[in-house]
Chains A and B, each alone.
Chain A
């Protein structure tokens, strides 16, 4: 039985490049209108998984992502960097899930991969910044959690020791396995793609993707099964539909407001020395400074 490390990764809209069509009328995100990237902290999570794999004989890394079909892109990216296998949990019925419904679906996907030893995810995704899905998934699996991991101190087949980054310091904690870990952005950055792995996995596809290819790689899969990025639907993970999507989400978006700024009367200055001196003079005269 290999030592199994599961990495939860999310493809996120690049919130640094948000355009006008980013939101739909119902208050959910219109992901199609944005560039999609590997959630940054999930890459740190992958690196932690790789470091564990470096220390354990016969370890394997399975990347699990929940999202639309194109999220297979980040699973391939993870494979190029050292993941052994990928699962895309994808179904229209997941649409509109909040963190609780998401963690329910992810926990079922993880259970399907049991037994596993370590579950790792980024602390939070940049499109929501909630940091909730990691602890919620851990709770649903009834396993302990170590949040804000910064460094792998030690790992063996029974337990793991992790340095955590807190607001004002660090903490080193030890947990028996299996355990869920969320990784902080201060953890080591992910190693780059490996050329050999890029060659190995460049034809890794989900079945849906395979059907859209012009060239038929179906046969290739027969003797290279690792090229199959598995696709799991609601039925595959045996989820109850009412616990998913909008119906399974206790939080509802009541209202979305565009922020309209109350324009203040502001005094405009140039970067001219004279202008700046004038401003400083005014501030000092009114004792705002000085």
Chain B
């Protein structure tokens, strides 16, 4: 059997992106379950020490394509390198971050290879599948698990016949974990000229403004999150006030982001960030499965909602039946009066 490969995204600072390290950790486990190797591919410019960002996560083989034209990322050259490399090593599984880059690149590669791709997986597992019609059993498939369609269901997707089995995963969904270092990982520096040609550089970057991450809710200990039920941008200010006094970060459901209450960087859930705080205060959030996928590992959940039957109340430790704009100011008041 062939191997698991993770596409390692390179940040502005020239490091392997966190989401890729999380995927390396997951890829390592999948590879060990299957008794195969973990490979990594880094494509960029000045990647002299890039192995250091990959080794701690247990890669057996590291492929590096280093060329000044390969950073910043553009679609066609990166896709060409992956396609040729995949042709050579025929990976069993290929994982990408569900980022601006991964979501641009993975479908391009999947289309050229005519293989299946599942976006925004919230869980990846290994399992078997028996096709009822033909009574054929497929061993050790990648189960690509994601909430689907409106949020009341969880779908398990498989690709029985095509390889690699491809999936994208959002940042924060998988846990970054060190792996006892591989004794002697193989580093394979690709001869870039053999993998790309000049025609693949037709799309030129004229200008770039990339900011370092301003809002970081991923590692917050306490999160005050608002949903559509908060009702307005003004009411959302109350959540910022509460977050302020508690030393918390403000998060939001997709509905609140879509309504324009807050910026997209605060979105928690399947198509946003996954968080694991000590305390999660959900204000006016009904709790569709896509949202819960991003926060159900919080140690404690408080739900403020006017609907006693909101799904979020079922996973909450405390529920408050009421309006956000009445409850939140009272919480602030009590905290101010009673904290030292």
Seen from chain A, the residues whose Cβ lies within 8 Å of a Cβ on chain B are 13, 15-16, 18, 22-23, 27, 29, 98-100, 103, 127-140, 144-148, 161, 166-176, 179, 249-259, 261-264, 266-271, 273, 275-277, 279-281, 283-284, 288-290
Contact in complex: B316, A252 (CB < 8 Å): no
Which residues does chain A contribute within 8 Å of B278, judged by CB atoms?
288
CB neighbours of B45 from chain A (8 A): none
CB proximity of A206 to chain B, nearest CB, Å: 27
Residue contact B155 to A256, C-beta cutoff 8 Å: yes
Complex CA–CA separation, A38 to B212 (angstroms): 35
Q: Is the CB of B129 within 8 A of A261?
A: no
Min C-beta distance of A279 to chain B, whole Å: 6
Q: Which residue of B lies closest to A279 (CB)?
A: B318
Residue ID in chain B nearest A264 by CB atoms:
B315
- List B202-256 residues whose CB lies under 8 Å from chain A: 202-213, 222, 246, 255
Do residues B321 and A270 form an inter-chain contact, with CB atoms below 8 A? yes
Residues in chain B within 8 A of chain A (CB atoms): 72, 74-76, 79, 99-100, 103-108, 110-112, 114-120, 129, 143-144, 147-162, 202-213, 222, 246, 255, 265, 271, 278-279, 289, 300, 302, 308, 311, 313-323, 326-327, 330-331, 334-335, 338-340
Residues in A whose Cβ lies below 8 Å from that of B246 = 289
CA–CA, A22 to B203, complex, Å?
41
User: Do A284 and B338 form a contact, CB below 8 Å, given A251-B158, A259-B152?
Assistant: yes
A135 touches B107 (CB 8 A): yes
> Known pairs A168-B213, A176-B202, A250-B115. 17 more at Cβ < 8 A?
A18-B151, A23-B149, A27-B155, A100-B115, A130-B120, A136-B111, A148-B100, A171-B208, A251-B159, A254-B158, A258-B153, A262-B315, A264-B315, A266-B318, A269-B321, A270-B321, A277-B334
Q: How far is the CA of A145 from the CA of B209 in the complex (A)?
A: 20
Say whether, besides A132-B107, A271-B322, A279-B320, A251 and B157 are in contact (CB < 8 Å).
Answer: yes
Q: Which residues of B contact A251 (CB under 8 A)?
A: 116-118, 144, 157-159
Given A253-B155, A289-B246, A169 and B114 contact (CB-CB distance below 8 Å): no
Cβ of B310 to closest chain A Cβ, rounded Å: 11
Interfacial chain A residues near B120, Cβ < 8 Å: 129-130
Q: Would you give the shortest CB distance from B119 to chain A, in whole angstroms?
A: 4
- The winner among A103, A266, A273 for most chain B CB atoms within 10 A is A266
Expressed in whole angstroms, the minimum distance between the Cβ of B128 and any Cβ of chain A is 10
Across the interface, do A132 and B117 meet the contact criterion of CB distance under 8 Å? Answer: yes
Q: Is there an interface contact between A100 and B111, defined as CB atoms closer than 8 Å?
A: yes
Residue pairs across A and B with Cβ atoms less than 8 A apart, 30 shown, are A22-B149, A22-B152, A100-B116, A100-B117, A128-B119, A132-B106, A132-B107, A132-B110, A135-B75, A147-B100, A166-B100, A168-B211, A172-B206, A172-B208, A173-B204, A174-B204, A250-B114, A251-B158, A254-B143, A254-B156, A256-B155, A258-B153, A267-B319, A270-B321, A276-B334, A280-B334, A283-B279, A284-B338, A284-B339, A288-B278
Are the C-beta atoms of A18 and B149 separated by less than 8 Å? yes
A127-B149, A252-B160, A253-B157 are contacts. A139–B116 as well, Cβ < 8 Å?
Answer: no
CA distance A18 to B339 in the complex (A): 44
Looking at A128, A251, A281, which has the most chain B CB atoms within 10 Å of its CB? A251
Q: Which of A18, A129, A175, A258 contacts B202 (CB 8 A)?
A: A175
Question: Which 3 A-B pairs have CB atoms at the shortest separation, nearest pair first?
Answer: A271-B322, A18-B150, A250-B116
Task: Report the Cα distance A263→B206, complex, angstroms.
Answer: 53
Q: In the complex, what residue of chain B is closest to A249 when comparing beta carbons? A: B116
A interface, over-half SS: mixed
Q: Give the contacting residue for A174; candidates B105, B111, B150, B203; CB below 8 A.
A: B203
Contact B111 A103 (CB under 8 A): yes
Residues of B close to A273: CB separation below 8 A = 330
The reply to whether A175 and B203 contact each other, CB–CB distance below 8 Å, is yes
How far does the alpha carbon of A250 sit from the alpha carbon of B289 in the complex, in Å?
26
CB distance from A142 to the nearest CB of B (A): 10
User: Does A135 contact B111, Cβ atoms closer than 8 Å?
Assistant: yes
Instruction: Tell me if A131 and B107 are in contact (CB < 8 A).
Output: yes
Q: Which residues of A contact B334 (CB under 8 A)?
A: 276-277, 280-281
Q: Is the CB of B75 within 8 A of A144?
A: yes
Checking B119, B157, B213, B339 against A131 with a beta-carbon cut-off of 8 angstroms, the contacting residue is B119
Query: Nearest-CB distance from A270 to chain B (Å)?
Result: 6
Complex Cα–Cα for A288 and B222 (A):
9
Assembled-state Cα–Cα distance A126/B273 (Å): 18
Question: Considering the chains assembled together, what is the distance between the CA atoms of A179 and B75 in angstroms?
Answer: 13
**CB proximity of B22 to chain A, nearest CB, Å:** 16
